[in-house]
Every structure is written in C-alpha cells, then in structure tokens.
Structure 1
C-alpha cells in the first residue's frame, strides 16, 4: 500500500479530471439516538429522515438550493411511532417523486409490515398501509445445514423504474393445521403503489425456505432466490433455487442449482441486467475451510443456467454492481468475528473486524479480471453477515446496540462511488496511522469516533490517491461522516451524507452534498 502526502495531493490537483465540489447545509446538533437516512429525489430535493425513539419520524426537506424548505413529524395510526426501539426498517426508496418507507413491528408477537408514503416536496404523510402480517414468532425456529428458515418481510425496488416487490416469508415449524403452500407471498406494486401481481411461492418437495435475495424487472417480472430446505434428507437437505413470477401468471417458474446441494449458511445477490436480459447471481456459502463464492449467469426468460464460475475472493462479498454489458464489479471487505469476555455466546460481547477493502472486476463469463485493495482497520459492535453494503443500499436498519456511545454502525465500512470522473472510495479512519513513515503494524483499528476522520481515495487498478473532501484535519479539528445515512445518484454523480465537524469537545452536524 503506498501512502501519499497531503501536501503533494493539494499541489497536484491536475492529476484529477475534476475536483469534487462540496456544499454544506446549515449546521444542526449531532444526531442522537435513533436512525438517520437521506434520500435524494429526482426533483432535486433532499429528504433527511431522523427516526426518533420517542417522537416518530422527523422529516427535513431541502430544496434544490440545499436550503430547508419544510419540516414535518410523521406518526401513524396503524404503527406505533413511540416504539422505534423495536422497529425494523425493511427499505427506504425514492419512488415516483415520493419517499417510501417500509417498517416492520411486532403486534401481539406477530410481525406486521407497514408502508409509509411521504410527499417529495413537503415531507407530509400521504398514505399509510398495512401490507400484511405473519404468524407468531413464538413457534420454534428451523435451522437446516446452518440455513435459517426465514420468518420475515423483504423488499426490492427495480433500479430502472418505480416498480417494487414485497416478500412475506412465514418460517418456523409447520403447525398441524397450517397450509405450507400459503406461507410465502410475493407481491409486485406499481410506482403509484397499486398491487400488480401476487402469488404464493413454494415447491412441493421443500417445506421451508431461507430468503436470499430478490430483484424486479419493471412491471413484467419478479425474480427471487432462496435456499429451499427440508429435514431428514441426507442427499439434499438444502438447495439454492432461482424463481421467476411473470405478470399475469399465477405460479412461479423455478430453477434448482444442483451443485448447491447441502450448501451451508448461504448468502446471495441477484441482479437483473436489462441490456442483455440476463440474471447475475452471486452465491456465498460456508464450509470447513471458510467461505466459497460462485458467480452464476442465467437467462432471465427461461432461467437456464448459462455458466457458473467459482471465485477466489480476498474478503467477504459486500455488494455486486452489474454493468450494462453483463460484466460486474464485486466489492469486498475483510471481516472476522471475535468475542470478548467469559461468555462467547452473549450477543453484546460479539464484535466484527471490518478491515481491508477489495474491489474486483469480473467479465461477462464471471471470471475475475483485475482489481485492487485499500488498507482499512475498524471494529464494529455485533456480528455482520456478508452483503452488508447491499442491505445498506436498501436502507435496511435495526437497532444493534441500545447504548448510543457504542452505536458506531452507521460510521463503519465504506462507500464505493463510480462517477463519470473516476472512482472514489470513502471511509472513516484514524489518519495519524496513514501518514508517511507509518506502517501497517503500527496501525490502530478504529473503534470510537473521537479521533475519526473521513478520507477519500480516487482509485484505479494501479493507483489510489488520497484527498480530503472537507478540509485538512488537525489535532483538535476533524470531520467524519455517517455513511449509513448516505445516498448516491449515479446518473448525476451526486453523493450526500451527514458530516460531523469536531472542534475540540464541540460537535456539529450538517448535510453534505458532494458533486464528483
């Protein structure tokens, strides 16, 4: 890893095709307990959401001039706005010029899904819907080959349109009077939130399913991949399935992947590539030697498997970014779990090292072609599964730690921003360990935010050059960003996040817009 002096970077601005332009909002107090999310809208407005533990959802709208144009507090009649602590966010999207929030809460031990639609101009609540409920969580969970039978709600939005899907997965042990064919429902909605299609998802030979991923092809199809599970079968207790629901059909088309028989602890990313009408399926499974990764390509119309390519990945897969021609970029992060204290099974003693960044470029046949890495060392509270950046991209969130001082989750991991003027990677770090003369062995993993600063690298496969977006950090002055709240408009190369300014003991926050 080569380190670059700040002085050289500031003098050598000619190395960059364009210096990022930064605009900051008026400052406001550092966010407290709760959850923050920013949504960039097509009309040029920016919606800042703060999920407050007591007041509900506080909405601040910024206009095209990046000035506050409206504020609103959103509560509801169907969901409990005072129970944010036990609320799960299953998705936040910009759809049809509106902000759409999917919330999940337990009501008498039954998971219930609620959809909130906010006006994209003033932030007011336009509609509130209960989309469904699952059976009680009090039944026994089902684990097969270290795959968990999902008992949860999931969402997915077509990145090329406003169509979106909601999946209801009923897990747990089948009850005596329960119809297994009706445990899973997939619903497709139009950009104006009307139900387009709904169907039950099942295969007769598999009673249980672990949700892996889902993607939407406009108003035409919903694609979903699961780990299909069954007990007391040594030959095939689990198998990965790719399925398709075409609008107008009442049943799914399924494609089993035989080579995945008895895969353990499976994770996946399923992406539709419109230009070539193919599906890209990244599969990650555990084995005694660690994790195995496979890149698959399928015909979107027939689900025929076109090729399967094993991959050697230096880290945990976090996000798959498909290109128009069927190639892709795979983002990786070196992650290891460890426990502190005498009870290794206690959740609050579990931690995750979120270390070096890896970027791999994959060709249309799924073969790894090139890439690079960046040194990063962070420690997160709790356990992080693969595809964390994929979940963050959807706006998924649940309380990991009720102690605010330990809730560093939104500040960890990294951002990968492909722009028309180059590729940028952002993350928070202790800068003193990256200065010239330092070494990797001297580096201290970032665990607390008191000395954190945001760094930005402009990257190619051969060079990684560092710059500072918000100014030169000093001993008593610095800047760090809440990456978990961020949003990015790829077509406009606009990135927005919450930036915290630290001057001694004083901290202030602001919304930062960065145009690359």
Structure 2
C-alpha cells in the first residue's frame, strides 16, 4: 500500500475515531458565573420552550427568578414578593412540588396563616420569571397534638399535604390530610393542565377497628384517575394495635373512591411507601418499606434508629380493578456479596432504600445507601467574673451517608446485576428512607450563611442514564482501593469534587464530572445534588456547579449531556 493511500485512509479514520471517543464523554455547557445563593433554598426548572429557570427562595427578600435562554445566557432576573405573606414567611414554608404545567412554572408551598396551614399554588411567567398568580388550594386547621398522643405518625405542617403530577401529562392532584375530621378523611382534588379542578372526593377510612389514617403516596394517571395508598391503624395503650395498607382510586366522573385492602400487609408498622405507574404494562408499582419485626419478613435495611430493621416489598397493582397482580419481597444477595467481596465492610450490607426506577424493558433499578443518624449531646460550663457557674447544653444531629448500592432486578424481583461504590459522608442533618425520591420535589432545608449550618443538599447521590453522581474528596476519587474503611470521611463539601461513576459489569470507573482542577487541595468543582434536574430526553442533566479557586467561589448552571 502506498504512503499516499495510508495517509488518505488515516485522514478518514482518525476524525471518526475521535468523534466516537467523544460521544462517550459528557458534553458540558456552563452559564455565566453568578454568586452562590448561600441563604435560603434553590431549585431549577428546565422548560420545554428551551428556557431554564433558577428559583431562589430567600429568608427575607422574596423569590428571585433568573431566566436562562436556550443558549444558556441570562435573559431576565425578577424579584417576586408574595402578596399577603410577610417577608420571612418563606423560611417556614414547606415545598410540596414544582413542575412545568401548560408551559408555566408552578410551585406548591405550604404557608402558616394564623393557626391554619394553607397549600398555595404559585404560577410564574416562563419568559420573565415574574409571579403571575397565587391561589390557595386547600386549608387545614391547626392540629391538636393531644389527639395523636401515642400514635405512630404525628401530623406536622410539612406532611398535611401531598402533591403529585402525572409525568406523561400536565394533570396533577392534591391530597389534604384533615386531622380535625376524626382523623379518618383525606381530601383529594384532581386538576387538569389549565389548573382547573376536574374532580374532588374524600378517601375515607371504612368503618372498622382502625381509627387513624395517613396518606402514604399519590399517583396521577392523566385526566382519568388518581391513585392513593394510605396507612390505616388503631392505637391502644399507647401502641399500635392493628394496621393495614389501603389503596383507592378516584376515577374521573365519579364522586367517590373505589377501595381495596392489602390483606397481606396486616400488622405492618413504621411504613414508608412510594408508588409509580408504568405505561408499558399499565401497572402501578407500590414499593413499601416496613419494620421487619412487625411483618415477619427478613430485614435488609437498617437505619440505626428506633425502628432499626426494615424489610422491603413490591406490590404490582392493576389500576382498573385495584387487584394485586403479584407481590414479593425485595432482597439483594448478589448486591450483598458484591459489597462483601469488593468493599470489605465490617458488617453486612443493611442499607436504606432511596428510590427505584422502572426501566423501558420492564426491569427495575433499586437505589440503596447506608444511612445512620446519631444525636450527640455536649455540655459546656463557664464561670463569670463573680464566680457564678452556668452550663449550656448543645444537641447535634449527625447524619451519615455511606456506601452506595445499585441493584437491577426483573419484574418478579430476581436480581440481574448489582454493584456498589464505597462512600463515607457526614453532615448535621437527619435522613430517612426514600430520601432521594422526596428531596428534590417536596423537601428543602433553608441554608443560613454562617459558621453553623448543615448542607445536606450536597450529600448522598443521584443516578441518571446509568451513571452515579455524587461529591467526594479527590483522595477518595483517585485511589484504586475501594474498601469502605479506606474512604476519608467527607464532611467539608467545599473541598470535594463531583464524581461521575459507571459500572461495566466487572468494575466501577470514576471520573471528575466537571474536570479535575489543578491543585485539588486548593481548588474544587462540586454540585448541589438537590438541584439536579433530569430533562425529559433522559440524557440531559441541569444542575448548579460551585467552582472554588482558593477562597473565591463562583456558581454556574451547567447542562450535562450524558
């Protein structure tokens, strides 16, 4: 072959090889830099018109909205005050959900009005970020906690309401728990894409031995129906005497729920549930964690708390008849063996369920993470000039986010593939089961700039398009040692970098998502995980990245194509 022909062939092949290798690398685009919002709470909405909106809820100055256009340039910034709310009202609000509905950003927040708690709907302009409308969708009177003494689930302002949107349409629903109505009713309102109520009914506790009712999870299926799972129980001698999970569906055109009792859940306690609809097989998937001691099922989870051992059960439900197609325990012997063989922990892998994803091929990916919460009490004594002693007691909550476990199983619960990543993170915040499922949509903690504040928004992990995303120290990223005990405890997030990890069937590969900075002891690039927004194409992630160079920090919105 002539030298000229070889050069000609290389000129054709090399660009193609280069393009192929780049296709496997995340493509990252950054906005202009802005000051990191350290006071308050922030969220991101990626709109179908190409705009991206950054919402920042402040403790005193209202709601700032910055609009980025399709080319990721700042288009507008608007400061919004909420009519009828005091400046500090946002600090005590609870986020219940935020979505794009009919081309508009819509947020749902609770607001304390005298003794009552309101659920408010805030609608914004997608072009300017201005607040265009505020509605009160439901109002619940103040809770008399003496009525709930000794019960398993104390109602709080944060859990009086639930909001859910159909991921395949702009229909949504609101559930309001009304403790003043003999603790036996949950009001459910169904809305269409024009924010108009299309149905309303009560999920009512049937006449039975149960006297308390708590909503577990809500699911919306277009404009046709709303599904609700609830936990019914009775109390005697300050303990739960009997309990069961109930399900119900409110169909469009009907004024009452159809009900079904899950008899196999009789006696379950300390229940957590998440329900998701899968259009491929037209089924509802209800994943339930319960105290293993009350269910007679083997424990696979441990929170190191009052109820420290949990079992996990999947129920597949027909939304038309409400009949349970099948139910099975979720166990992970392959994952446990992987952890034992590769991470070599001191004890067995008892990790909390964080979320689950139903894949297009009808397999299910379960997301686990070691969690533990600890309360530390310290006393300090001082003496004044006159010799008088005074003692101050400090109580700290420590939350630990440990090893990640990812399990893929078939539709019957059979484990297909599992892997784990060693991780060691500590922050001063309580964390529980299904933390990842809840934290982006209906959970926030206002940050306060200063010496003592927690930043749980930067801890734990996220998963998208087969990649695991989390923040960690460079020494934990760069080492080939994947033993749990080898991982440095990450407690200072500003010294961390965001990791992009993947599993090829044999080993875990880790890289720096935003690139490895020079001099990692002084510089870092990390992201706020609770602001992670998964765009509908399933491959694009939008988040807020913090770039630290020495003592200087800058924030950016970043668009990552995985």
TM-score by length of 1: 0.89
Q: Is the contact between residue 247 and residue 322 of structure 2 (CA under 8 Å) also seen in structure 1?
A: yes
Aligned to 2:279: 274
- 2:236 maps to 1:209: no
Give 1:461 deviation, angstroms. Answer: 3.8
Distance 1:90 1:400 in 2: 18
Give 1:231 deviation, angstroms. Answer: 2.6
Aligned to 2:173: 165
- 2:181 maps to 1:134: no
SS in 1 for 2:236: coil
Q: Is the contact between residue 309 and residue 367 of structure 1 (CA under 8 Å) also seen in structure 2?
A: no
Give 1:327 deviation, angstroms. Answer: 2.8
Q: Is the contact between residue 111 and residue 134 of structure 1 (CA under 8 Å) also seen in structure 2?
A: yes
State which of 354, 372, 377 in structure 2 corresponds to 1:318. 354
State which of 181, 190, 205 in structure 2 corresponds to 1:188. 190
Any idea what the Cα deviations from partners look like across 1:99-149, whole Å, max 9, x if unmatched? 110111211121111100111121121211011111113432626673445
Aligned to 1:6: none
Aligned to 1:462: 506
Distance 2:68 2:361 in 1: 36
RMSD: 2.5
- 2:376 maps to 1:332: no
Shift in alpha-carbon separation, 1:404–1:143, aligned structure 2, 3 A:
farther
State which of 386, 392, 396 in structure 1 corresponds to 2:439. 392
Q: Is the contact between residue 78 and residue 128 of structure 1 (CA under 8 Å) also seen in structure 2?
A: no
Q: Is the contact between residue 494 and residue 526 of structure 2 (CA under 8 Å) also seen in structure 1?
A: no
Give 1:353 deviation, angstroms. Answer: 1.1
Q: Is the contact between residue 95 and residue 441 of structure 2 (CA under 8 Å) also seen in structure 1?
A: no
Aligned to 1:53: 59
SS in 2 for 1:90: strand
* More moved, 213-222 vs 473-482: 473-482
Shift in alpha-carbon separation, 1:186–1:74, aligned structure 2, 3 A:
same
SS in 2 for 1:484: helix
Q: Structure 1: which 5+ residue stretches go unaligned?
A: 1-10
Q: Mapping of 1:214-363 within 5 angstroms?
A: 214-232=218-236, 237-288=242-293, 290-312=309-331, 314=349, 315-342=351-378, 349-363=396-410
Any idea what the Cα deviations from partners look like across 1:355-377, whole Å, max 9, x if unmatched? 11111112122333322111111
Any idea what the Cα deviations from partners look like across 1:312-360, whole Å, max 9, x if unmatched? 25511111211245432111111112122259xx995222211111111
Q: Is the contact between residue 354 and residue 367 of structure 2 (CA under 8 Å) also seen in structure 1?
A: yes
Q: Is the contact between residue 457 and residue 530 of structure 2 (CA under 8 Å) also seen in structure 1?
A: yes
Shift in alpha-carbon separation, 1:459–1:348, aligned structure 2, 3 A:
farther
Distance 1:309 1:224 in 2: 20
Shift in alpha-carbon separation, 1:384–1:489, aligned structure 2, 3 A:
same
Distance 1:405 1:384 in 2: 18
Larger Cα-atom Rg: 2
Distance 2:372 2:534 in 1: 28
Q: Structure 2: which 5+ residue stretches go unaligned?
A: 1-16, 294-298, 300-308, 333-348, 380-392
Distance 2:416 2:512 in 1: 30
Shift in alpha-carbon separation, 1:504–1:139, aligned structure 2, 3 A:
same
Give 1:70 deviation, angstroms. Answer: 1.0
SS in 1 for 2:494: coil
State which of 84, 94, 99 in structure 2 corresponds to 1:93. 99
Aligned to 1:125: 131
SS in 2 for 1:201: strand
- 2:510 maps to 1:499: no
Distance 1:111 1:250 in 2: 25
Q: Is the contact between residue 426 and residue 491 of structure 2 (CA under 8 Å) also seen in structure 1?
A: yes
Distance 1:405 1:21 in 2: 36
Shift in alpha-carbon separation, 1:65–1:16, aligned structure 2, 3 A:
closer
Shift in alpha-carbon separation, 1:82–1:238, aligned structure 2, 3 A:
same
Any idea what the Cα deviations from partners look like across 1:248-291, whole Å, max 9, x if unmatched? 11111111112222212110110111221111010001234611
State which of 388, 411, 425 in structure 1 corresponds to 2:458. 411
Any idea what the Cα deviations from partners look like across 1:140-162, whole Å, max 9, x if unmatched? 26266734457511100101111
Shift in alpha-carbon separation, 1:224–1:76, aligned structure 2, 3 A:
same
Q: Is the contact between residue 23 and residue 514 of structure 1 (CA under 8 Å) also seen in structure 2?
A: yes
TM-score by length of 2: 0.82
